[in-house]
Amino acid sequence: MALHFEHAEFEARQDATAAAMAERGIDAMLLFAQESMYWLTGYDTFGFCFFQCLVFTRDKQLVLLTRAPDLRQARHTSIIEDIRLWVDRGEASPVGQLKDLLDNLDLLGAKLGIEYDTHGLTARNGRDLDEALRTFADLVDASMLVPQLRAVKSPAEIVHVREAARLADLAFEAGMAEIRPGADEGRILAAMQGAVFEGGGEYPANDFIIGSGVDALLCRSKSGRRQLSDRDQITLEFAGTYRRYHAALMRTVVIGDTTQRHRELYAAAYEALSAVEAVMRPGHTFSDVFEAHAKVMDAHHMLPHRLNACGYSLGARFAPSWMDWPMFYRGNRAEVRPNMVLFAHMILADSATGTAMTLGRTYLTTEDAPTPLSRLPLDLPIVG
Amino acid sequence: MALHFEHAEFEARQDATAAAMAERGIDAMLLFAQESMYWLTGYDTFGFCFFQCLVFTRDKQLVLLTRAPDLRQARHTSIIEDIRLWVDRGEASPVGQLKDLLDNLDLLGAKLGIEYDTHGLTARNGRDLDEALRTFADLVDASMLVPQLRAVKSPAEIVHVREAARLADLAFEAGMAEIRPGADEGRILAAMQGAVFEGGGEYPANDFIIGSGVDALLCRSKSGRRQLSDRDQITLEFAGTYRRYHAALMRTVVIGDTTQRHRELYAAAYEALSAVEAVMRPGHTFSDVFEAHAKVMDAHHMLPHRLNACGYSLGARFAPSWMDWPMFYRGNRAEVRPNMVLFAHMILADSATGTAMTLGRTYLTTEDAPTPLSRLPLDLPIVG
């Protein structure tokens, strides 16, 4: 049994979910996001690559419909007791079995809240679902019901988040120990991810991002590795993970002498991050945080080099991405509240000179100023 | 630029896709699977966590609609020249921008083939898409058009697959060097994944699966690690990866003396894998392969302990899973053809005695008998 929270913690989360459902008149949730299932029950799997659904009723019944390989997985990792299986049958869809299950739960004509906005429900399965349930019940998109509850962390979650942050720092230090002229990106990556695994963490919800030379300007991972040259730059965006909770960091390391352009970009990034910290607190929205970043960036003439977002929430996330809701972009009216875990990244990529600079870390919000969860300095890292 | 195939290779794939489209009367494909985009153009990203679409017309125009952070990613990794961006705007959906793009391509009233059956298109985005395009064009589900072409590998792909297989063998050897009483699962995992990274590989499309003690019976990954005891078992399901191509292996390692039950399960697994090899060749279906496995398993009284599937195709896959189409299960009439890359796994989990046994490796199909891509022996691995 690998249950990472007390039963009382899961009960509190279920109570909160049931209350939010009652507020919206929802009789049962059809949960498809692995994040929702993990948060509500501990169920930990990548079995959402196939069709699966966790039904949660307003009177707190939990029924999981999944594929056989996940029966034992649900038993070993979650508090779910009622697990039903569907079987691969050529072209047959498991949605029919879901409908029967809902019928058995006496949900004919009920109002069902559905998580459509998740990688746990493909468009194909979503279409089958709508087709099968359209005349059976009243279907409403309730994709944000659980994520809104998940966005504010409990004390027990924050313990895991702090451990994830500790592992992120260790990962950076392990990477720095390998970074030098001639070093292979693959070896740097092995050292960084290895530090997380050896510390008891797991795979991140997306690849660590590692790119050097002209690829230091990228902010996604890709296949193919290179070796560092004598004067180089390497961008690292990575996360410590613990019990699926993420704490991310981002740095661009300069190898050899820094250029004037590196220093200019770094000055803008550092100042923008300070401006972000000043508004990352209750009384401000996620849009305010983005605007604080943009204002500094644009004063430094960085508008052509910056992105249209400067970070996001973190939590217990599954593939394909650790980016959680809400995000820092223009017009996002979500409010900053205490005990959120927020990753702010300042990303600059100057194509004309081929120069990259990034600076990012994860914060725990409070009633007042946010607490950085990393003990690493914000200095521009330079090797050699 | 990180392009892993010659331009002529991409042109051949595009020709094959256009021909398959013509056969079905499809004027343009709306591709949402990252696998399709990578195969057709080299585009390598996890940016499919947000809405993105690659439009491919029958006259071989390629237009990518994506989010800003992937503009440079597409330029550095793919042959796509026409890249359009959508911007986060509160509640606004990017589907409207896709419709405008299709209109510009003169596709009003056309027959559009859509990839609905992929994690690259969530149910939410799929509903928006259907709503926006219903009166604009004739929409057909063409989810299997590209996967059917991808299932048979080219010589250039097989070079990468072989390299992935070499890294898988190295990963197992690195893991075995760490497996002993008292060893920490996290350290074993770090050694295995580290071997792939150091060899030039990348993250697998799903976590390596590692579980010991009672969790050796699981066939999914989970968070939380333990240490091996003096008499133990550890199940490892993992893949070497190279240029996003996967070659998987599966073993259960016994620590200390093997039990009688381990030996019984191993005998069944070994015999079943041999039976599978005998039919994994042209003239048989994927269902035949499953039945060959099931017949041996059931003769060994393993019906309660086996699964309802015994493997699947492999290729260049992205999160959340490396399992590719077609799969080995009852009733799957897909035919085995030469130059497929197929992973056969014999998985047994006996709950009553808490015993696990697995045996699996990846094959390249030929006109005749399949070629195992691993040089590892199929012996039951025992430590100490």
- The string of pLDDT tens digits covering residues A87-131 is 866 556 799 999 999 999 999 999 999 999 999 999 999 999 999
Q: Which fold has domain B155-383?
A: Creatine Amidinohydrolase (3.90.230)
pLDDT tops 80 at residue B88: no
d(CA B28, CA B111): 7
Which residues in chain B are closer than 8 Å to A202, comparing Cβ atoms? Answer: 207, 221-223
The mean per-residue pLDDT over the stretch B208-218 comes to 97
pLDDT computed for residue A93 by the predictor: 74
Closest CA to A77 of A59, A58, A54: A54
pLDDT computed for residue A207 by the predictor: 98
Which residues in chain B are closer than 8 Å to A210, comparing Cβ atoms? Answer: none
Give residue B2's pLDDT band: very low, low, confident or very high (50, 70, 90): confident
Which residues in chain B are closer than 8 Å to A72, comparing Cβ atoms? Answer: 217-218, 349, 351
Point out the residue among B72, B193, B319 whose CB comes nearest to the CB of A217. B72
Q: Do A332 and B2 touch (CB under 8 A)?
A: no
pLDDT in tens, B279-321: 999 999 999 999 999 999 999 999 999 999 999 999 999 999 9
Which residues in chain B are closer than 8 Å to A308, comparing Cβ atoms? Answer: 68, 87-88
Residue B177 has φ and ψ, to the nearest 5°, of -65, -20
Please tell me the CATH superfamily of domain B7-150, with its number.
Answer: Creatinase/prolidase N-terminal domain (3.40.350.10)
d(CA B62, CA B35): 16
The mean-pLDDT minimum among A93-102, A161-170, A244-253 falls in A93-102
pLDDT computed for residue B145 by the predictor: 98
CA distance B98 to chain A (A): 16
Q: Do B243 and A224 touch (CB under 8 A)?
A: yes
Candidates B37, B220, B322, B325: best to mutate against A (most CBs of A within 10 A) is B220
The enclosing H or E element of B64 equals: strand B62-67
CA distance A295 to chain B (A): 18
Domain ranges in chain A are 7-150, 155-383
How do strand A111-114 and strand A62-67 relate by DSSP bridges? Answer: unpaired
- Strand, helix or coil for residue A154: coil
Which residues in chain A are closer than 8 Å to B186, comparing Cβ atoms? Answer: 197-201
pLDDT computed for residue A92 by the predictor: 62
CA distance B93 to chain A (A): 12
- Tell me the HSE value of B316 on the side-chain side, using a 13 A CA sphere: 32
pLDDT computed for residue A91 by the predictor: 57
The mean per-residue pLDDT over the stretch A128-151 comes to 97
Q: Do B330 and A200 touch (CB under 8 A)?
A: no
Closest Cα in chain B to A329: B88
The mean per-residue pLDDT over the stretch A202-211 comes to 98
Q: Do A88 and B309 touch (CB under 8 A)?
A: yes
CA distance A263 to chain B (A): 22
d(CA B174, CA B89): 48
pLDDT computed for residue A87 by the predictor: 80
Rounded to two decimals, the ipTM of the complex is: 0.97
Q: Do A186 and B193 touch (CB under 8 A)?
A: no
Give residue A74's pLDDT band: very low, low, confident or very high (50, 70, 90): very high
pLDDT tops 70 at residue A15: yes
Give residue A59's pLDDT band: very low, low, confident or very high (50, 70, 90): very high
